[in-house]
Structure 1
Amino acid sequence: MVYQGKIIISGIRGMLLDMSQVVNKTPLSKEAFDGMNNLQYLKFYNSCFPRESEADCKFNFPDGLKLPLQEIRYFHWLKFPEEELPQHFNPKNLIDLKLPYSKIRRLWDSVKDTSNLKWVDLNHSVDLYDLSGLLEARNLHRLNLEGCTALKGLHERMQNLTSLVVLNLRGCTSLTYFVEMNMKSLKTLILSDCSNLEDFQVISEHLEALYLDGTALKRLPQSIIKLQRLVLLNMKDCKMLATVPDCLGNMKALQEVILSGCSRLESFPDLQENMRRLRIFLLDGTSIKEVPKLMQDPGLSEWPDRGVKGLPLLRHLCLRGNDMIKSLQPHIGQLYHLKYIDLKYCKNLMSVPTLPPNLQHLNAHGCESLTTLGNPLAFLVLTDQIHSTFIFSKCNKLDEVAKTSIISYIQKKSQLMSDAIDRYNLGSVVESFAGACFPGCEVPAWLSHQAYGSVIVLPELSRHWSNNGTTGVALCAVVSFADQNHRFLVKCTCEFKNADGSLRRFSCTVGGTEPHKIESDHVFIGYTSWLQMKKQKEQEDDKKGYSYSDDHYQASLRFEVTDGTGEVVKKCQVLKCGFSLVYESDETESVSWEVSSNPTDPTMGNINNNHIIHSESIVSAESQTMEEIIQHGETTSLADSNIHGVSMSPADSEMEEINQQGETSSTGDNIIHGVTMDVNFSDGSQRMEDTNQNGETSSCVSTEDQGYGSDVQGGESSGNDSLFSFTDNTSVQMIKPIGIICLVISISAGAAFMLGKRKRKR
């Protein structure tokens, strides 16, 4: 309680005071805290204002303030009203000092014992200009001076803070320079929005994160090369930055480089092999004329399971809003860990090569000059990855070959995702989605059910059709826009009528865009897993306490465009729609898709027709790369890595044992001995088992096509899980009777061989 200007409390160790509970401003005497010598924890705060700047301090001290707090450990006072702490305040036991939005100008005017002080937060104390009271705080770990706009520089004796790990100077707009010093323990330096800072000096060689975004820097010093532990470099919106030193390409630890909004930056050094840890590279809003070399030309004649030299771990590449770039590096498709590419509003971009297999999101909205795409659009991979979205909205110059490439990719991706759900036993997945949008007015011909307008009606379905191996649904809508600038989604509502007269509804997303003005008609095409619809059914059944019949015999699908609130956008019209069911792969048929690929196409480099890759090889390569980076600081070429034979089954192990004894040919040996046959294994991969007269077997990739002869070139296997292969314009067809006969012969021969081998061992 407060009585005659004093806080009457004694014998306590902690006090919390919510100033929102104090109705009126209250003057306190300077002896208000007398008798609190045992107080260790003091906190004045305002619970009604999460944003501290909006709070108000209800106490004032017209005659000054005494703080006889000998035992204080934690001192937190929002909007502290005095210009400095009292002269007799003793911080010898103080561990945590927090005075945000205070009127403090300096902490104290003489040297005090601050040996226990670890955390100091003086953020937005706009009158603070003197830090001399902290120069002997040798155990200080964190110092937050964000928004201290009167602070002009750091004293060179700051290097005495030998335990300081984090220094936050964000928004210190009067800060113009750094003196030379060496803060040996400093790992994070934040200089964001120091808008008058024109010169930067390396003040710690142990920095791991450096934030220079929003500063007035024109260049980085050559001494930046000393920061060999730097993981993050953020220079976003450095509007005056014109160049970066070449040595930046030799900083081995860098994982994230942000140069977004550096509008004067016209070049960036080639990313050397030393930067192989780099994961995030953001160049949006720059004037860079050519994309930095992300990798060295591998010069390979086939898919590089041997690895690439460059940035093997790159995940995110952003080039948004760059009007200078006309093309991407042809071999970008070999960066098989790249997941996000942002090319929005790259208005002079004319071509995009074949994209990486693990790419989850490509946004090329507003690329007005984009004409050609790689064929295939992206390498395909058998993986447990679910989401994959490609946006080509407002790319009105896309040619028909490019549009065909998009459609072909979604068709193949739908089947691969369908197989992956079964292969990886993804029963817990609620929704899987692969989608694309591009300018156009036609529903792809491979969708088996099509209609004009927004509704498709199927008057009769086969009995138990949904339990007949259905794994997903491919959906398509052609949408006309009328002065639409808002975010929207294209949705499909499926309504099934059961034999008992009951109705069941499901909804799923076909596609969508961010707020953009789109004038021409666009095609939205997507795949969604049947598991999503089953999940909705289970949720409805749980709510109602009973289950409807699944004996659907009629179905209708309605497509509509909704805004961010779920309301139907009446100005957007669905002109055409279509859908197809996607089924599990028939084990007696090949699941390989055909892709037209011109080996002389400059966008394809020297990559051959192997466009589907097993994820086990990729995971193995990534794991090895990461392990070598961590242990040795450098990686060897994946060509030297044994990425074959990942996760071997017992049968695979036995075959490996035979290989070691020299009784079989190498899996990479593409010599065909005697009888050949196509077998579609349960893992979805296609193999050729070749049996010679001696009973020896070899497993290799089949590039043979019934319609294109039997030339087998460069079909190197990726271990016991062989690669899918592609041929030109035609799916691999199996002649079932011959295949079955050959399978029986092979199994019999193999069994006899293994039995004889075991007898010889005995």
Structure 2
Amino acid sequence: MQDLVNLKVISLFHSENLVRIPELSSATKLELINLAYCRKLLELPSSLQHLEKLTHLNLRWCKNLRFLPSLYKATSLTTLILSDCSNLFSFPEVSPNVRELQLEGTAIEEIPSSVESLCQLISLSMEDCARLKNLPTSICNLRSLEVLSLNYSPNITTFPEMSRNITELNLQATAIEEVPSSIECLSNLCVLNLARCRRLKSVSTSIHKLKSLRGFYLRDCSRLEIFPEILDTLERLRNLDLSGTALKELPSSMENLIGLRQLRLENCESLVCLPESFHKLKSLWFLYVYGCKNLVIWPDNLFSAIGGASLTGRVEMQKDLHGLSSLKELDLSGTNLENLPTTIKQLTRLQKLILWKCERLKSLPELPPSLIHLDAHDCTSLAEVSSITKLFEQALLCKDKPYTPKTLACLFTNCFLLDQKVVASPGTPKLQMLFGHMFTILKDYHQASPQRNMFTTCFPGSEIPEWFDFKSSGSSINIQLPSEWYYNRHSMENFPGFVVSAVVSFQDYFDDAHFHIRCECHLKSCNGDCPNLSCSFTVWSRRGLHGSRLLGSDHLFLLYHNELVRRFVETQASNKCIYKEASFEFYPGVWERNWSQCISCEVKHCGVHLLSAATDDAEVQPPKRYKYVS
């Protein structure tokens, strides 16, 4: 026992061997007690209820705590955290002034009807309470309650009756079977989370009366077959997640979701069509239909020459594309598309197009100039991507904002048909022709434009393109720079730009993590100084979204990063210094909590091509002979 009259804070969190704390009756000024993760704590002194200035009590993960003394007289207490106190069976007795109760993971079986006395309560969280049964009707008397979270409480079977002041209702993975018409009373509700409610069968049409609703989440409600008619406009609804539901179609009244920004329909395997009114979603930014294998009917005014496999295996085509004018990201992964519509180029705000594992896709049309990321992993039937050269040209000539780089990534991993030796002249690979066009675009751009841009691309292949000046086996290369190239702080017109390439061997490599390549460049001047330029670029990021995938072949990577080179020489290179040599080193890596070298990948070949605005016309043609440098 000590004189604790001036003590305001007790912070003993993670005191693994703490069993009890002393009487605190003399600590009349105590405001905060933090005993989180004191796993052996068995009891608390009864004097807690006399601490009139106590505002915050944190007992998270006190797993052996079985009894909490009455805190009814602790009138200043506003926050009580009992999360994961798994041996706590009784709802705590607290002052009516408490504003936040966190009771996740406790063994509480019921909320007493006296809960209505907590007139100041704003947030009540009882997630992962496996024993908790349905709530008392008196909970609707909590007029101040704004957030109620009952996620992963499997014995909650009925939709709770709440005060109209509730703004966030989380009922994920509960046993609720329906959303009743009485939900229309929740006029201030902004978030309704019913994800993984696998018994949910129906949602009342009264949902359209929730004018404040911003997020509605029904992911993995696997018994939900019908989405309700939206009988009036919902201007504020921004996010709607219907992924993994049993929906066969969407109502035409979807057009009333005039403020919708994101729609997820991933893995809706029963979905066969989208409504004709779908094109009226003018505010839609993100559309995800990944894994909708049976989606065979598309609106006439949405896509042209696009569809999924019908029962006969034939792809059904439709007509025009006028809607979705705000679309920024489109994920068609895992669908049975054979072609994309030529009118897709009208999506002038589309930035990201994901076509992962569209195994029937054969070719790509002209794509919108706004596109900065194209993911065509595992499009094993893809044989024609001639339109990509125009996309590179559009990226390099981007005039959105002066000196703002436009990053373009086009990824064609495991698209083996692209490397077949057909087309044009005999023996000329498709990719070599494509790379030849890219060379011309880069040369013209670098000579004429002061803008700063970047692009990366990846194709199956084991050879560095013919037009690269310098090639080497292995992961490093040293080159001699032309004598006329030097850096003048007032003019960069004579300083080189670099296009680099690497052939990476993927043997038994699974891409479950982010993959990147780091390229380090060392410049050596006549004075011997050697500034270091390092450029890392992520080639693809899986994030577990589409599962792990085996890569068992070589792939070629190209990188052009003019903006990085300019920034480097402007800040680090010596003024009026002549650089005579440059060395390049390539490192493949993966992200596992931090970047580390990828031991299952090997850089087999690498190459460098130099670009200069001072190049003569006679020098801009692809070299007829390779220059191999060790």
Q: Same fold (TM over 0.5)?
A: yes
Q: 1:199-210 residue pairs with structure 2 within 5 A? A: 199-201=202-204, 202-203=206-207, 204-206=209-211, 207-210=213-216
Instruction: Give distance in 1, aligned partners of 2:294 and 2:341.
Output: 14
For 1:475, the equivalent position in structure 2 comes to 500
Residues of 2 paired with 1:73 and 1:479: CA distance?
A: 58
TM-score, L = length of structure 1: 0.63
Residues 325 and 348, structure 1, Cα contact 8 Å, conserved in 2: yes
Q: Give the 5 Å matches for 1:142-541.
A: 142-155=147-160, 157-158=161-162, 161-172=163-174, 174-181=175-182, 182=184, 183-201=186-204, 202-203=206-207, 204-206=209-211, 207-226=213-232, 228-229=234-235, 230-238=237-245, 240-270=246-276, 272-290=278-296, 292-293=298-299, 309-322=322-335, 324-375=336-387, 377-379=389-391, 380=394, 381-383=398-400, 384-398=404-418, 403=431, 406-407=434-435, 410-411=438-439, 414=442, 422-423=450-451, 433-450=454-471, 456-459=477-480, 461-466=482-487, 467-470=492-495, 472-485=497-510, 488-509=515-536, 512-513=539-540, 516-529=549-562, 531-532=564-565, 535=568, 538=571
CA contact (8 A) 1:294 1:310 kept: no
What residue is the counterpart of 1:604 in the other structure? none
Residue 127 and residue 224 in structure 1: after superposition, are their counterparts in 2 closer, same or farther (change >3 A)?
farther
Q: Distance in 2 between matches of 1:457 and 1:95?
A: 66
The amino acid across from 2:465 in the alignment is P
Q: Which amino acid aligns with 2:579?
A: H
Amino acid at match of 1:176: E
Tell me how far 1:258 sits from its aligned partner.
Answer: 0.7
**CA displacement at 1:40 relative to structure 2:** 5.4
> Identity across aligned pairs (percent)?
21
Whether the 8 Å CA contact 1:85–1:108 is kept in 2: the answer is: no
Q: CA RMSD in A?
A: 3.8
- Which of 607, 610, 613 matches 1:578? 607
Residue in 2 that maps onto 1:695: none
Cα deviation code 1:385-433 (max 9, x no counterpart): 421110112111126666367536644664687589835xx6xxxxx53
CA separation of 1:395 and 1:249: change in aligned 2, threshold 3 A: farther
Correspondence list, 1:732-747, <5 A: none
Q: Quick one: distance in 2 between partners of 1:108 and 1:534? A: 65
Shift of 1:337: 1.2
Q: Which runs of 5+ in 1 are unaligned?
A: 47-54, 299-307, 427-431, 542-546, 594-762
For 1:311, give the aligned amino acid. L
Which range moves more in the overlay, 212-221 or 385-394?
212-221
Matched residues in 2 for 1:208 and 1:530: separation? 39
Q: Secondary structure at the match of 1:390?
A: strand
Residue 121 of structure 2 aligns with an amino acid whose one-letter code is L
Q: What code does the residue aligned with 2:597 have?
A: E
Alpha-carbon distance in 2 for matches of 1:163, 1:190 = 17
Question: How far off its partner does 1:358 sit?
Answer: 1.8
2:43 counterpart of 1:26: yes
Structure 1 residues 131 and 341, CA, compared in 2 at 3 Å: closer, same or farther? farther
Give per-residue Cα distances to partners, 1:695-720, cap 9 Å, x unaligned.
Answer: xxxxxxxxxxxxxxxxxxxxxxxxxx
> Structure 1 residues 275, 405: CA separation in 2 closer, same or farther (over 3 Å shift)?
farther
Q: Deviations over 1:321-354 (max 9, x none)?
A: 22x2111121112212111111111111112111
Deviation at 1:135?
1.0
**1:530 offset after TM fit, Å?**
5.8
- Structure 1 distance, partners of 2:38, 2:475, is 59
| 1:67 is the counterpart of 2:72 | yes
SS in 2 for 1:60: coil
- Contact 1:16 1:44 survives alignment (8 Å): yes
Q: 2:59 aligns with which of 14, 20, 45?
A: 45
Q: Given the superposition, is the C-alpha separation of residues 331 and 57 from structure 1 closer, same or farther in structure 2, using an over 3 Å criterion? A: same
Change (3 A) 1:236 1:549: same
* One-letter code aligned to 2:414: K
| Separation in structure 1 between the aligned mates of residue 21 and residue 538 of structure 2, nearest angstrom | 68
The aligned residue for residue 611 of structure 1 is: none
User: Cα gap change, 1:433/1:67 in structure 2, threshold over 3 Å: closer, same or farther?
Assistant: same
Query: Match of 1:15?
Result: 32
Query: Residues 416 and 185 from structure 1, CA distance in 2 versus in 1: closer, same or farther, beyond 3 angstroms?
Result: farther
CA 1:534/1:122 → structure 2, altered by over 3 Å: closer, same or farther? same
2:486–2:577 contact (8 Å) kept in structure 1: no
| Inter-partner Cα distance in structure 1 for 2:149 and 2:614 | 59
Are residues 1:97 and 2:101 paired? yes
What is the rounded CA distance, in whole Å, between the counterparts of 2:471 and 2:50 in structure 1? 85
SS for the counterpart of 1:248 is helix
Question: After the TM superposition, which residues 596-611 of structure 1 pair with which residues of structure 2 at under 5 Å, given as runs?
Answer: none
Contact 1:276 1:311 in 2 (8 A): yes
C-alpha separation between the residues in 2 aligned to 1:333 and 1:319?
A: 16
Tell me the amino acid that sits aligned with residue 582 of structure 1: L
In the alignment of these two chains, the number of paired residues is: 546
Q: State the shift of 1:116 in Å.
A: 3.0
User: What is the distance in 2 between the residues matched to 1:567 and 1:435?
Assistant: 20
CA distance in 1, matches of 2:217, 2:158: 17
Taking a change above 3 Å as real, the CA distance of residues 233 and 126 of structure 1, as seen in their structure-2 partners, is same
Tell me the SS of whatever aligns to 1:572: strand
Q: Structure 2 CA distance, aligned partners of 1:247 and 1:280? A: 19
| 1:355–1:374 contact (8 Å) kept in structure 2 | no
Superposed CA offset, 1:23-69 (max 9, x none): 542375xx544534x345141234xxxxxxxx22444339x746334
Q: Name the CA distance, whole Å, in 2 between partners of 1:212 and 1:582.
A: 53
- Give the letter for the 1:258 counterpart: R
Which secondary structure state, in structure 1, belongs to the residue aligned with residue 413 of structure 2?
Answer: coil
Among 101, 104, 128, the residue aligned to 2:132: 128
Structure 1 residues 378 and 136, CA, compared in 2 at 3 Å: closer, same or farther? farther
Give the counterpart letter for 1:188 in structure 2: V
